[in-house]
Structure 1
Amino acid sequence: MNIVRVAIAAAVLVAVGLATTLVVGGKEMAPTVQYTLLDGTKQSSDALRGKVVLVNFWATSCTTCVKEMPHLIETHQKYQARGFETLSIAMAYDPPAYVMNFTETRKLPFRVTMDTTGEMAKKFGQVQLTPTTFVLNKKGEIVQRYVGEPDFAQLHALLEKLLAESA
């Protein structure tokens, strides 16, 4: 009987915590990650503050990731001139040669890095499913998370809104 009470109390605390987060409306800050682009350039996500950013976790073995990539390219090209950046993060299990080949043959126009240690996926909340995409506002707050392919019309509407906001 004590176990049941403890379980109920834990469930209530979790529910209250979730409700508080929703009521307060606080947005979660995106984690700071250090990464190396495929060209060897070392960068930090902090350098992207002040821009609207799409962070996409993907893998070359993921059919949905491959299917959505042309839409990500179009989205990047459509909004890049307005202060939009795309950071594409290949999962730790993806062979580096596959990622390099995919990036070159598809002529990906945005930042591509490999999460060779799995640390970036951990920092973004234990990302395990691909594709997983985060949209960050100019302050670096996570405003949307998609697991699976986004609805690109809805994503574009969100980007229009975020790009119109001041930092």
Structure 2
Amino acid sequence: MQLKPALGAIVAVSMLAIVFWQQTHLDPKAPDAEFTTLSGEQIVLRELGGQPVLITFWATDCRACIEEIPDLIALHQQFAHKGLQIIAVAMPYDIPSRVKQLSEMRKLPYTVALDIEGVHARAFGDVSLTPSSFLIDRERNVVSRVTGRFNLADWRARIAAM
């Protein structure tokens, strides 16, 4: 039974190594990305120039992602009129009908996009853990990346300073 604690430690260290690798291998410029929203609209990231953008990768079966929704709504309510675009990108394994159902049920006021083929997850540094969020400034620089829940007060301050 000594194997279980050792296995848990190996998994924890592996996850930390993945997060560290992702943090250190991220291009400072946001990738060119064209998102398809639930309604079929195309949003091209480079065409949002001059606006801050928050991109969050999430899944309907991710508890932390669901817990983060009120924070995303709060940021949308506080900063949308100042140009902040929030794009919540559903992970490739998520079922589009579940994404749509949850989005409608929660009345999400920000953009929800699908990443059926995993193109965006790869473009943003092979995102595999959710939630993973990226704050992009007006010049399209990734100024913050958080794996796990972001700190609402910290991101409010960062967005307000943009």
Q: TM-score, normalised by structure 1?
A: 0.80
Secondary structure of the structure 2 residue equivalent to 1:57: strand
Q: Distance in 2 between matches of 1:54 and 1:158?
A: 11
Show structure 1 runs of 5+ residues with no match: 1-20, 22-26, 163-167
For 1:110 and 1:49, the matched residues in 2 are separated by 18
Q: Where in structure 1 do 4 or more consecutive aligned residues deviate above 6 Å?
A: none
Aligned length: 137
Gaps of 5+ in 2: 1-23
1:43 Cα deviation after fit: 2.2
1:92-131 correspondence runs (5 A): 92-131=92-131
Cα deviation code 1:36-75 (max 9, x no counterpart): 1111112211121110110000000000000010110111
How much is the aligned-residue C-alpha RMSD, in angstroms?
1.2
Whole-Å Cα distance in 1 between the matches of residues 110 and 49 of structure 2?
Answer: 16
CA shift, 1:29, in A, is 0.6
Aligned to 1:6: none
1:88 and 1:63 map into 2 onto residues whose CA distance is: 15
CA shift at 1:111, angstroms? 1.0
Aligned residue type for 1:134: F
Q: Distance in 2 between matches of 1:144 and 1:109?
A: 23
Q: How high is the sequence identity, in percent, across the aligned residues?
A: 36
Give me the whole-angstrom Cα distance separating, in 1, the residues matched to 2:158 and 2:88: 19
Which residue of structure 2 aligns with residue 28 of structure 1? 28
Alignment map for 1:29-48 (pairs within 5 Å): 29-48=29-48
If the length of structure 2 is used for normalisation, what is the TM-score?
Answer: 0.82
Q: Which moved more, 1:37-46 or 1:95-104?
A: 37-46
The SS at the match of 2:87 is: strand
The secondary structure found in structure 2 opposite 1:138 is coil
- Pairwise mapping of residues 73-152 of structure 1 onto structure 2 (< 5 A)? 73-152=73-152
Equivalent residue letter for 2:44: S
For 2:74, the aligned partner's letter is: E
CA distance in 1, matches of 2:125, 2:146: 13
Aligned to 1:160: 160
Letter in 2 for 1:100: K
